[in-house]
């Protein structure tokens, strides 16, 4: 079941975040309960959505999306518990984001060496549209029905 993350879910989110903190943001931030709560409560100027995929109340994967100017949707952070890889949780969250976007263009950013995530996004019909040399990051765009 996918639903909005509540403040009470942040302890579970923290565990998954810190499994992947080196690849989830450019500053490679490792969160504490305090810093994650502060970010959740005040993620930035734009509208954000925090979503979690739960199985019997256990958070298995999460996704943070940004609705930029209400015109494009950005999958900013997406991560699955390492023990729960390759069970389709990441795919389910991306499909949920596609529904949330209601036909808005959808983008994400992935570090160039993160081959696993690149392969994952290619499988979800995302394609590379930009390379940021300074950040060593690709911008990906969802292209419905593209087959790579
Ligand atoms: C990327 C990530 C979210 C994928 O989650 P997941 O639930 O394991 O993915 P799925 O089970 O939905 O995988 C769907 C397909 O993506 C591809 N894929 C997923 N993980 C892969 C990997 N490690 N290596 C190669 N391909 C992979 C496969 O084609 C897979 O289909 P298959 O299992 O039938 O072969 C997960 O690996 C993760 O949390 N990575 C660390 C964080 C990260 O890199 N996030 C993305 C940048 S923000």
Which whole number is the average pLDDT over 92-103? 94
DSSP secondary structure, 23-53, as one string: HHSTT-PPP-HHHHHHHHH---SSEEEEEEE
Q: What is the pLDDT of residue 148?
A: 52
CA–CA gap between residue 26 and residue 111 (Å, rounded): 9
What superfamily does domain 2-142 belong to in CATH? Gcn5-related N-acetyltransferase (GNAT) (3.40.630.30)
Neighbouring C-alpha atoms within 13 Å toward the C-beta of 34: 0
Neighbour tally for 90: CB within 10 Å: 24
pLDDT above 90 covers what percent of the chain? 85
Q: What is the pLDDT of residue 147?
A: 56
Q: Is the CB of 23 under 6 A from ligand 1?
A: yes
In ligand 1, the atom with minimum distance to the C-alpha of 93 is: 12
pLDDT digits (tens, 9 = 90+) for 60-89: 999 999 999 989 999 999 999 999 999 999
Q: What is the pLDDT of residue 26?
A: 72
Q: What is the pLDDT of residue 31?
A: 93
Q: Is the CB of 21 under 6 A from ligand 1?
A: no
Q: Is the CB of 119 under 6 A from ligand 1?
A: yes
Q: Is the CB of 123 under 6 A from ligand 1?
A: yes
Domain spans of the chain, in order of start: 2-142
pTM of the full predicted structure? 0.95
Q: What is the pLDDT of residue 70?
A: 87
């Amino acid at each position: 079941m996918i639903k909005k993350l509540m403040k009470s879910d942040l302890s579970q989110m923290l565990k998954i975040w810190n499994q992947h903190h080196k690849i989830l943001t450019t500053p490679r931030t490792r969160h504490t309960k305090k810093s994650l709560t502060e970010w959740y409560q005040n993620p930035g100027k734009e509208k954000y959505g925090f979503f979690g995929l739960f199985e019997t109340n256990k958070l298995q994967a999460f996704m943070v999306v940004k609705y930029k100017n209400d015109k494009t949707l950005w999958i900013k952070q997406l991560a699955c518990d390492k023990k729960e890889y390759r069970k389709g949780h990441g795919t389910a969250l991306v499909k949920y984001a596609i529904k949330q976007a209601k036909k808005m263009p959808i983008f994400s950013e992935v570090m160039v060496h993160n081959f696993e995530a690149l392969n994952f996004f290619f499988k979800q019909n995302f394609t590379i549209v930009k390379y940021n040399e300074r950040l060593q990051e690709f911008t990906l765009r969802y292209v419905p029905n593209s087959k790579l």
